[in-house]
Amino acid sequence: EGGSEGIIGEIRWMRVNTLRWSVEAAVEWFEKGGWEMFEEVEEMLAAAQSKPKVFALDAHIEPLLALPAAVSLPTISAYQDGRLLAQDKASCMPAWVLLTPALADAEDRAAARAAGEIGPDEDLPKRGKGLRVLDATAAPGNKTTMAAALIAGDEINGKVTACERDQGRFKVLKDMLKRADAKNVQPMNVDFLSLKPDDPKLKNVTHLLVDPSCSGSGIPSRLDHLIPSAPEAEQLARIKALSNFQMAIVSHALRFSGAVRVVYSTCSIWEQEDERVVMRVLAKKEFRDMGWRLAPRDEVMPTWERRGRVAACGGDETIADSVVRCLPEDGTNGFFVACFVKDENAPPIEA
């Protein structure tokens, strides 16, 4: 989840809601309002010591801006009307990773169309057009609305189905969809595990976001800057139960008949909820036989340096390199992201 409204240390992360606005328009709006733009977040933070109105574009995630943490949200009208949303950088990674290849395909299609190589209604033989995302565990809806924004344009024209089991949180989700103007999302107050993966109505679901409830050990409270590197003994039973629940949710997602790409994420730093869930998936013959494997690093935030813990991946450096970790020292919440892709022709993974 977003944590304390996008604030991590000295940074306040704001996502440009491209359902209501564009990054170009946002930059112009800030600059007209007397804000100075910096190329690097670090430079922006240094300048913020003497100048309050500064911002930077994020180097990894296109619709993301970094502002100084001291900026007060009520003073920013574009936040008040939902053109900007407060969302931690790490929390933006799952939808970005899920949709990176589809966005690249859409760009190729648009370029081919502009060059007259394909007609207005023609398609390149690639996945992506009309794609359908299912967000298994959606409230409050940060990742749902980001996915919806990324696939909303004419070139993809995608839709999101968003499941939330809890009634109170379902209401929060619906409020967020309204605030973000996410008309291409169908919210469902349902237990994801009760959906049938072979339901004909869900057979065109190709991409799934799996961001289940977790220990939240990656979210530093305002007073507590130090996160212990391992759970306390008394917490272990709870972490184990969470890890089993996370495994059940991600397994259910992998069984959807049309699924080709599934992103798993947590805001936990415990390996039991992170790499070890991934290793349990990779070890299952059922999933190997279906063609599931881990997406390689070049599809999963390739320029992000902090990767998985090798020891927690059974010593396998390739597996560790394919997944992403984040820590508060990276200017984000503690977070974990892995992406599974289905390739029916791939040789089975030995894990």
Is 155 annotated as a binding-site member? no
CB atoms within 10 A of CB 151: 26
Q: Crossing angle of helices 142-150/167-180, nearest 10°?
A: 40
Tallying the residues shown for the chain, one arrives at: 351
Rounded to 5°, the CA angle 123-125-128 comes to 75
Residue the block writes with tokens 């995630």? 61
- Report in angstroms how near the CB of residue 219 gets to ligand SAM at its nearest: 10
Which DSSP letter does residue 348 get?
Answer: P
Q: Does 211 bind ligand SAM (CB under 6 A)?
A: yes
Q: Does 1 bind ligand SAM (CB under 6 A)?
A: yes
Q: Does 143 bind ligand SAM (CB under 6 A)?
A: yes
- Report in angstroms how near the CB of residue 32 gets to ligand SAM at its nearest: 31
Residue 147 carries which side chain, given as an amino acid letter? Answer: A
Q: Which residues contact 335 (CB under 8 A, 6 or more apart)?
A: 88, 90, 91, 93, 218, 265, 266, 267, 324, 325, 326
Q: Which of 132, 165, 261, 307 binds ligand SAM (CB under 6 A)?
A: 165
Are 98 and 116 contacting, i.e. CB atoms less than 8 angstroms apart?
Answer: no
- Report in angstroms how near the CB of residue 214 gets to ligand SAM at its nearest: 6
Interface segment toward ligand SAM; rule CB under 6 A; list 75-83, 131-139, 255-263, 298-306: 131-139
Q: Which of 163, 319, 337, 338 binds ligand SAM (CB under 6 A)?
A: 163
Pick the closer one to ligand SAM by CB: 152 or 214. Answer: 214
Kindly name the residue from 163, 214, 267, 313 that is annotated as catalytic.
267
Are 207 and 99 contacting, i.e. CB atoms less than 8 angstroms apart?
Answer: yes
Indicate if 267 belongs to the active site: yes
* Residue 270: both structure tokens together: 């415990």
CB atoms within 10 A of CB 247: 19
End-to-end CA distance of the chain: 31
Q: Does 193 bind ligand SAM (CB under 6 A)?
A: yes
> CB nearest ligand SAM: which residue?
137
Interface segment toward ligand SAM; rule CB under 6 A; list 34-42, 147-155, 191-199, 235-243: 191-199
Distance CA 100, CA 292 (A): 18
Q: Does 15 bind ligand SAM (CB under 6 A)?
A: no
Distance CA 46, CA 50 (A): 8
* Residue 92: both structure tokens together: 């933006």
Residue ranges in 88-107 that form contacts with ligand SAM under rule CB under 6 A: 91
Q: Does 326 bind ligand SAM (CB under 6 A)?
A: no
Interface segment toward ligand SAM; rule CB under 6 A; list 10-18, 190-198, 274-282, 310-318: 190-198
Residues facing residue 7 across a β-bridge: 12
Count the alpha carbons within 13 Å of 186 in the hemisphere toward its beta carbon. 9
Q: Does 192 bind ligand SAM (CB under 6 A)?
A: yes
Q: Does 212 bind ligand SAM (CB under 6 A)?
A: yes
- Report in angstroms how near the CB of residue 218 gets to ligand SAM at its nearest: 11
Is 81 annotated as a binding-site member? no
* Burial degree of 299 (CB within 10 A; 0-12, 13-18, 19+): middle
Distance CA 243, CA 190 (A): 21
Interface segment toward ligand SAM; rule CB under 6 A; list 25-33, 39-47, 63-71, 137-145: 137-145
Total residues contacting ligand SAM by CB under 6 A comes to 20
Is 211 annotated as a binding-site member? yes
- Report in angstroms how near the CB of residue 245 gets to ligand SAM at its nearest: 7
For residue 156, the Cα-to-chain-centroid distance in whole angstroms is 18
Catalytic site positions: 267
Q: Which residues are annotated as a binding site for S-adenosyl-L-methionine?
A: 164, 191, 211
Binding residues for ligand SAM, rule: CB under 6 A, are 1, 91, 137-143, 163-166, 169, 191-193, 211-213
